[in-house]
Chains A and B, each alone.
Chain A
Amino acid sequence: MKYKSNFFFEKIFKTILKITSLIVIGIFILLFYSLVERSIPSLFQNGLEILFGTSWDPNFEIFGGAPAILGTLFSSAIALIFALPISLCIAIFYTEYGPVRLRPFISGIMDLLAAIPSVIYGIWGLWTLSPILKINFQEPIIASIGFIPIFSGPAYGLSIFLASLILTIMITPIISSISIDIFSKTPMHLREGMFALGATKWEVIKNVVFPFAKRGVFAATILGLGRALGETMAVTMVIGNSYLWPFKSVSLFASASTITSKIASEFPESVVNLIHNSSLISLALILLIISISINFVAEIISKKSVGG
């Protein structure tokens, strides 16, 4: 009797687990299905315009996504260019040069920076950082080297530059925490082998730690990139949401759009116009494809790094 009831419960338990797994798989498949379904009207009407078109005017049903797509790629790339060296420096300080006592503080700072909601980065960027940067950074630069197109005026406080800066602050904790983990795993016997040859700390970092951590840091960078590409609130609040950049002005200080800022700022009003709504969702689909392929690459690389 007891054996039978156990068998029964075992079966029920397994079935429940299987059903929940199928639900999650279902959600996953449905996600793609419904985004594709909602994108179809736009894809039919706009065709490749959604990828390459440079203007966007719902009144005339013109939906060119290029400025938003480029804005997404560009702001994320700039953020990465700053965040990667900063993160490496933090990881170097944490694992090599800094006193062990400081470690909990550094990881605390990184964890809290990563935890702050993006809408709070947004309000801070919009009302605190933007006016300060406009007066003390953008305007002096425009006044001195404004003849170079990418630094030309006028100074929009809310700009692709500000968005990239805030993205840098937001993704640095991600890249640096993973880098710290990987740096700490550098085998002691390799470090010591290099020290025993009379190497300085920096030479040990360069010759032993970096080669060891290379792949993992790359995967971390891709992860940070994925986060930057999909970041919505902070970017929407500080980028200005105009379609100026990069076809009407190439200035870093011009306001611009990203895929996410376009969607967040126009979605509610788009609900009344199927093509408009569908075009925004096809932008989301493009973002989804970009971010999935990037995560896929990171996955492959980090799996390989386990072996070497």
Chain B
Amino acid sequence: MTDCLAITNLSATLPDGQRLLRSVNVNVAPGEVRALVGESGAGKSMLSKAVLGVLPVSVKIVEGDIWLQGNDLGRLTAAKRRQAVAASIALIPQDPLTALNPSRRIGPQMTDRLVKILGWDQTRADERVRTLLDEVHIRDGERVLRAYPHELSGGMRQRVLIAAAFAAEPKLIIADEPTTALDVTVQKQILRLIAEMQRLHGTAILFVTHDLGVVAKISQNVTILYGGMVVEEGAVDQLFANPQHPYTRALLAATPRYTDPEASLLPVDQSVLSDLAKAVETADRDWMSSHGG
């Protein structure tokens, strides 16, 4: 079966030649929930931006391919690429407030993508959005459609964006830290909702997060990034029960658990970090020499 998303050997650099992504391989199978985990600067947002084709202008993809539904995005013209991405990927952003236009009502913001980009007629789009608000358990959908973003709570706004993401039946949803800005109780509701919608629609999700707790609950498979490199990947059960890479073990040991407050909290060992820095250096040297740099 073709992967929904296949990122192969992807490297991206800044103008000075510094690599931000270092030969990254990530595959997302149809219907799979894969977590993309890393601390700040690990390249997790950079990777999702590369897939969406919204990298900052200074960052160039210098090697590797992104395959979406069996199409090599690098071989498409810019316009075709936008079409392919719009047709099969949707984004659940981190901050639901900045993702919504404050001066427009929710309804038109939700149907815009369907009408203006995918060419649906307005009536069909309206109906679709109503069905989806129902699916995300918004009871007074009519009021929400007429509301402005500031009139809704943070959890409600995130529900609206989840509904909008699923509206066009995308094959893949990139969820970029969708619960980081929320309180824990709301976070649990939203994670539950994402899981429920995912099962209902069979959509693959690339779930970007830094929170290992969230990873353990939502995903089937995990890719751990450090310094733009894949450090470890595997099924969630195995990775948490038996982490192979010292960095993964260190991250788990650094996470406090309320169930086990006496366990010694181990700051990530400097030797682990210096080994990683060396690995990054070696990878860059090999890469430079094989690319005539």
Chain B binds chain A = no
B residues with a Cβ closer than 8 A to A are none
